[in-house]
């Protein structure tokens, strides 16, 4: 970890900066719980829990608005420069992705409600559950990297998005096979596919958060940059391995 938030003469300023970081982590915890509940509703066929996920999305949206407003106030009052400005900008970008993760969790909740009314497969959506566990862990680890300003951890989490994409592609082929073999499953499988797509998008947003961690620590925008370039140019290839 590279310490990145320097103390200021104004204690209040220090507090404001720490508070917005803490609020981001609280928002992340809420979003992570939304993913957990949405997947539980899907796997168990629990329409009540699915409805709860849908209703709770407003909490994520409210936190997004609140933190964004706090960032605007810091910019207006403090006119931050250098690392402080990067922190504020990284927070604004991170909460945007967290809000979108919340939206994807809400979609899974909606699919769970629909699927609860249909016949459940014998495997209980075990493959989809595995994908869900994977992306939830990505979100958790991305937030941990943000909390610790750990660039190496951020790159490790970003790598996981490739594995998530592979899992998603494999599941898609499986779903298509199901529909071809038994057209009666088409309605149910389409809802499962929408849930899978939401999970794949959550993985993308978790990777985005990792990119903001690198921006925050190094001041370099690595969006649209390959992992190989990040490892070579940012980490000096010290943690590089074949991908």
pTM above 0.85, yes or no: yes
Q: What is the pLDDT of residue 180?
A: 94
Domain boundaries, the chain: 11-234
Q: Which residue has the tokens 């809400």?
A: 106
State how far the alpha carbon of 72 is from the alpha carbons of 83, 91, 143, in Å.
16, 11, 22
Tens-digit pLDDT profile for residues 47-67: 999 999 999 999 999 999 999
The parts of the chain modelled with pLDDT lower than 50 are 1-4, 237-243
Q: Quick count: other Cβ atoms within 10 Å of Cβ 61?
A: 13
> Distance between CA 28 and CA 57 in Å, rounded?
13
> Distance between CA 164 and CA 130 in Å, rounded?
10
Q: What is the pLDDT of residue 11?
A: 75
Q: What is the pLDDT of residue 1?
A: 42
The answer to whether the beta carbons of residues 57 and 29 sit under 8 Å apart is no
> Distance between CA 217 and CA 232 in Å, rounded?
16
Q: What is the pLDDT of residue 14?
A: 83
> Distance between CA 49 and CA 46 in Å, rounded?
6
Which homologous superfamily is 11-234 in? Phosphate transport system protein phou homolog 2; domain 2 (1.20.58.220)
Q: What is the pLDDT of residue 235?
A: 65
Backbone angles phi, psi at 81, to 5 degrees: -130, 165
- The radius of gyration computed from the CA coordinates of the chain, to the nearest angstrom, equals 20
């Amino acid at each position: 970890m590279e310490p990145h938030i320097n103390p200021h003469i104004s204690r209040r300023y220090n507090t404001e900066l720490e508070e917005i970081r803490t609020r981001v982590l609280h928002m992340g915890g809420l979003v992570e719980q939304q993913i957990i509940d949405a997947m539980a509703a899907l796997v168990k066929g629990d329409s009540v829990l699915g409805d709860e996920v849908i209703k709770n999305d407003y909490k994520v949206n409210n936190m997004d608005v609140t933190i964004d407003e706090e960032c605007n106030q810091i910019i207006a009052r403090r006119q931050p420069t250098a690392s402080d400005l990067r922190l504020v900008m990284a927070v604004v970008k991170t909460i945007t992705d967290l809000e979108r993760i919340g939206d994807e969790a809400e979609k899974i909740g909606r699919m769970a409600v629909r699927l609860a009314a249909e016949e459940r497969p014998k495997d209980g959506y075990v493959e989809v559950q595995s994908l869900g566990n994977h992306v939830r862990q990505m979100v958790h680890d991305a937030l941990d990297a943000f909390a610790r300003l750990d660039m190496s951890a951020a790159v490790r989490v970003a790598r996981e998005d490739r594995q998530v994409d592979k899992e998603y592609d494999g599941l898609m082929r499986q779903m298509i096979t199901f529909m071809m073999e038994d057209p009666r499953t088409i309605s149910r499988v389409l809802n499962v596919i929408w849930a899978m797509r939401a999970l794949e998008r959550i993985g993308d947003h978790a990777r985005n958060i990792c990119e903001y961690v690198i921006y925050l620590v190094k001041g370099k925008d690595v969006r649209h940059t390959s992992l190989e370039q990040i490892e070579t140019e940012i980490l000096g290839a010290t943690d590089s391995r074949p991908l």
